[in-house]
């Protein structure tokens, strides 16, 4: 079945440093979504990417979808303590509206002052 | 505008018992998906309900079953509980008719099996 891996599993940075998490799927994706889960919380939707090579920005966050639609990345510039949490990518392999979402293994980000 | 609500928040059961978890979707949503999230892992898709039918299913045994009611709320039932079923169970809702929409998650039910 479809597998979605993320690296690194964990990263600890000092506030102000940059952070990147990478997401790789075993199959070609129709679209990919990114979620953030704070400690003790539930996943919260950040963004969806659909087109090959697509790049989207949300303030300090930059999301990319690979040309082959099998990988994606999330880059955070100048991290803040509010960025702490686990970041998950989640991909859909099918084109149907009911195609299931497969979550990645997640990258846990810790930010200290 | 109420978001996704789940009940109960915590539950403790013993091996072999059965459990029912409940979910009310976000107002205006018609699709409910259930996920199992073990500690330190990503959510694993269990199944999705739309129009009171199971539309998609992940790699979970038949011990996991569900139901969707006419008001779009949903239940997840797990029979013959195993220690490995201990996890956070998340419900997520979306509006299927608009295509691949983001999932809106509830706070989850933390299930512990003794």
State the 10-residue block means of pLDDT for chain B, 114 residues long: 91 97 95 95 94 92 97 97 98 78 94 96
pLDDT of residue A96: 60
Pick from A41, A98, A104: which is nearest to B42 by CB? A104
Domain residue limits at A98: 4-112
pLDDT of residue A34: 98
Residues A42, B107: C-beta atoms closer than 8 Å = yes
* B72: closest CA of chain A, how far (Å): 16
Q: What is the pLDDT of residues A62-111, one digit of tens each?
A: 999 999 999 999 999 999 999 999 999 999 887 665 578 899 999 999 99
* A106: closest CA of chain B, how far (Å): 6
Could you give the maximum distance between any two Cα atoms of chain B, in Å? 42
Question: Looking at domain B5-113, which of 2.60.40.10, 3.90.920.10, 1.10.340.30, 3.30.1330.10 is its CATH number?
Answer: 2.60.40.10
**CA contacts within 13 A on the Cβ side of A104:** 34
Order of strands, sheet of A71-76, starting from the edge strand that comes earlier in the sequence: A4-7, A19-25, A71-76, A61-65, A55-58
Query: A76 exposed, middle or buried (CB, 10 Å; 0-12, 13-18, 19+)?
Result: buried
pLDDT of residue B95: 86
Q: CATH number of the domain that A13 lies in?
A: 2.60.40.10
In chain B, what are the domain boundaries? 5-113
Q: What is the pLDDT of residues A29-40, one digit of tens each?
A: 999 999 999 999
Split into its structural domains, chain A has a count of 1
What mean pLDDT comes out for the span A37-59? 96
Residues A1, B59: C-beta atoms closer than 8 Å = yes
Provide, as residue numbers in chain A, all residues whose Cβ is less than 8 Å from the Cβ of B45: 100-103
Q: In angstroms, rounded to a whole number, what is the distance separating the alpha carbons of residues B46 and B34?
A: 5
What are the distances in angstroms from CA A15 to CA A33, A38, A70, A74, A81? 26, 17, 31, 17, 7
């Amino acid at each position: 079945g479809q597998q979605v891996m993320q690296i690194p599993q964990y990263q600890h940075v000092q506030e102000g440093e940059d952070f990147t998490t990478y997401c790789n799927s075993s199959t070609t994706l129709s679209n990919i979504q990114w979620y953030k889960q704070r400690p003790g919380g539930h996943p919260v939707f950040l963004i969806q990417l659909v087109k090959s090579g697509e790049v989207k920005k949300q303030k300090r966050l930059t999301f990319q979808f690979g040309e082959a639609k099998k990988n994606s990345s999330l880059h955070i510039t100048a991290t803040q303590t509010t960025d702490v949490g686990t970041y998950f990518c989640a991909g859909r392999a099918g084109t149907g509206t009911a195609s299931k979402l497969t979550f990645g293994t997640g990258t846990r980000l810790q930010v200290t002052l | 505008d109420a978001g996704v609500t789940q009940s109960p928040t915590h539950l403790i059961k013993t091996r072999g018992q059965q459990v029912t978890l409940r979910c009310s979707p976000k107002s205006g949503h018609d699709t409910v998906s259930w996920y199992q999230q073990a500690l330190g892992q990503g959510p694993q898709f269990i199944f999705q309900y739309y129009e009171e039918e199971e539309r998609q299913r992940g790699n979970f045994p038949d011990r996991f079953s569900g139901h969707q009611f006419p008001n779009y709320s949903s239940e997840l039932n797990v029979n013959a509980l195993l220690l490995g079923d201990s996890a956070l169970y998340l419900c997520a809702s979306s509006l299927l008719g608009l295509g691949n929409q983001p999932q809106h998650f509830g706070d989850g039910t933390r299930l512990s099996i003794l």
